[in-house]
Structure 1
Amino acid sequence: MEKKVEVEVHASSSLDDENLDISVDLIDDGLYLGNLACAHDHKTLEKLKITHILTIDLVPLPRTILDRPNLTFKYVKLADVPREDLISHLPECNDFLKQAICDNGSVLVHCYFGVSRSAAVVIGYIMEKYSLCYEDAFALVKSKRRFIGPNIGFVAQLKLFGHMGYKINKDDPRFKQFRLKMAGQKLKQIKILPQLFADLVKPDPGIIHERPDPIVYRCKKCRRIVASQNNIIPHIPKQVKIELAKKGIRPPPSKLTGLTCAENGQLLIDKLKSLACQIINEDAGASTVEEDGASPQVLDGYNEQNMVDSSIAGRDCPEVCRLMWFVEPMSWMEDVTHAPHGKLHCPKCRNKIGSFSWLMGCKCPCGQKVAPAFYLVPSKVEWSNIVQNVQITV
């Protein structure tokens, strides 16, 4: 039996001059979604028997509220803009909600209006709890609180969260590309890559290390290793993407008793493989990559119709475009930590082998736009599945 709680009264004086009405709705067992006024109102919290409060806002709750006994708090600093990193906070928020409800508590999740930020967090929790895709979880939450509306950046991140199996997989190419976009925006603002994103610049694969990747990419001129298969960020050709859109192929809606989001994603990947084999001409010649001068799109970091994960990123997968090799930034690449764009030269022979662009990205000969982009030109770099016992790096 569904329960619904709606409280509509004027906010208490603790909100100073703001004339914000209290608004709160019961979304799931022990889980309420509301606004800042609700978190400030002691009588409402008592009436709803709230034991935990999760604040998603630019500022935490005031000390007068935090000092109240019998309440447990968690604060996540987040602005309601598409370029904010929501997805990295979802696992810890879900853990907080699960623990609170497991302890027979009641949780209020709130931002300022209870429309975008807090709604996105609640949707992420519902997705994981019931193994739902984003669309189903959104519909469920909206049926309880009709005016929710996560911004488009949060929506894309929630979809990525679902397709990664409700966890953060740092090795997933889609998550890597999302973080690269985040880093590119920061580099644009402060002219240098922040320490927070230092892990995005991967070690030089040409330096001797244990258990080297058996698949590598070498400079054709001097045969110096410049990338390994793990550094490749695969993409689907634009032609395949268009065909997918025409056929309407997307993860089928999951239900409480149906497939998980991860299984839905695998269904799409399987269909994509079959379709790609019919479309892609594997002998297509490589052409030059042109910088795309168009303004960068909204930071989503993920496109449902470009679903390439590590399970289909190998060299022998026909649906992955190989007209251009997009890679992660690596330590041998000069200027990538403090320049918005530039050329990539072999660290040994100095031959130009590619380029990079944090902001504009580039367009592959297949027509697919990739941004940010760190790319190696196949005519300058050769693929090899043989790793020598000794690699000498100059």
Structure 2
Amino acid sequence: QAGVSRSVAVVTAYLMKTEGLGWEEAYAAVRTAKPDAEVNPGFQGQLKLYETMGCTVDSSSALYKRYRLQMLTERYPELQDLPREVFAVDPTSICQTPNTEVLYRCRKCRRALFRSSSILSHTEGSGPTAFAHKRGTNMAQLCGDGREKCTSYFTEPVQWMEPALLGVMEGQLLCPKCTSKLGSFSWRGEQCSCGRWVTPAFQIHKSRVDEVRTLPVGNFQTAKT
């Protein structure tokens, strides 16, 4: 039936933007005027994201990037011919990294791998308690506050990763220059050391890369190991 889902979602988003309403309030207002309105689950997810992003569309937002990746795993089950815009630009093809960004290099060969804008942050999980169901878990580790920092960066796909990602659900991420192991990926998702499950996951171990911060004065750079 026409006019009950897509158009309703557009009107709902308009009310959210112009009236400052949450998506549920705006949707309820539309349904009051049009009782047969029925936004499908996909549009509901987009409206929730729109609300979380402050009723703006920012393609550089980590929230937007993660949502887009999750949708891709549903639209491209064979993981072939992924849209080019999914991949972040390879930092080696950029002449200069902005002062506001951190560059991450392979610790072994110094090859530039990704920028801080490619990191998709996540809410910290419950720490070691999230792994209690696994065999061999040392219950003594579950004492204290039960929290552990993330030992990996979860990023959006970067152009140099493309050959490894297409056509397979999971695998290793190797440095494109020296082939040392940097981390792993899984379109099904992986669990961070903090306990949070991240889907899909493109995980680079912090111990395998160095941070390079560009100073605002001159051309000096500092590396954080």
TM over 0.5: yes
The number of residues matched between the two structures is: 199
Does the CA-based 8 Å contact 1:187-1:338 persist in structure 2? no
Taking the aligned partners of 2:190 and 2:98, their CA distance within structure 1 comes to 29
Taking the aligned partners of 2:94 and 2:57, their CA distance within structure 1 comes to 29
Give, as a single letter, the amino acid of the residue that structure 1 aligns with 2:186: S
- For residue 128 of structure 1, report the CA deviation from its aligned partner: 2.0
- For residue 362 of structure 1, report the CA deviation from its aligned partner: 1.0
Does the CA-based 8 Å contact 1:216-1:384 persist in structure 2? yes
Quick one: higher RCO (CA 8 Å, sep 6+), 1 or 2?
2
Give SS of 2:104's match. strand
Which is higher, the Rg of structure 1 or of structure 2? 1
- For residue 129 of structure 1, report the CA deviation from its aligned partner: 2.5
| Matched ranges for 1:145-164 at <5 A | 145-164=34-53
- For residue 220 of structure 1, report the CA deviation from its aligned partner: 2.0
**Alpha-carbon distance change, 211 to 219 in structure 1, aligned in 2, over 3 angstroms:** closer
TM-score of the two chains, using structure 1 as the length reference:
0.46
| 1:210 aligned onto 2:96 | yes
Give, as a single letter, the amino acid of the residue that structure 2 aligns with 1:222: C
Partner of 2:182: 353
Give SS of 2:92's match. coil
Does the CA-based 8 Å contact 1:224-1:348 persist in structure 2? yes
Does the CA-based 8 Å contact 2:214-2:220 persist in structure 1? no
Partner of 1:125: 14
Partner of 2:122: 235
Does the CA-based 8 Å contact 1:326-1:375 persist in structure 2? yes
Partner of 1:368: 196
Taking the aligned partners of 1:139 and 1:324, their CA distance within structure 2 comes to 41
Taking the aligned partners of 1:208 and 1:237, their CA distance within structure 2 comes to 32
Give SS of 1:217's match. strand
Alpha-carbon RMSD across the aligned residues, in angstroms, is 2.7
Does the CA-based 8 Å contact 1:123-1:138 persist in structure 2? yes
Give SS of 2:126's match. helix
| Matched ranges for 1:177-326 at <5 A | 177-189=66-78, 191-194=79-82, 197-212=83-98, 214-239=101-126, 284=148, 322-326=150-154
Taking the aligned partners of 1:219 and 1:211, their CA distance within structure 2 comes to 16
- For residue 337 of structure 1, report the CA deviation from its aligned partner: 3.6
Tell me, which stretches of 5 or more residues in structure 1 are unaligned? 1-34, 37-109, 241-278, 286-321
Give deviations 1:295-353, integer Å, cap 9, x for gaps.
xxxxxxxxxxxxxxxxxxxxxxxxxxx43201111111132244332211011211010
Aligned with residue 141 of structure 1, among 30, 34, 39: 30
Taking the aligned partners of 1:342 and 1:187, their CA distance within structure 2 comes to 18
Same amino acid, percent of matched pairs: 33
Partner of 1:343: 172
- For residue 237 of structure 1, report the CA deviation from its aligned partner: 0.8
Taking the aligned partners of 1:280 and 1:198, their CA distance within structure 2 comes to 40
Give, as a single letter, the amino acid of the residue that structure 2 aligns with 1:363: Q
Taking the aligned partners of 2:66 and 2:180, their CA distance within structure 1 comes to 27
Tell me, which stretches of 5 or more residues in structure 2 are unaligned? 128-144
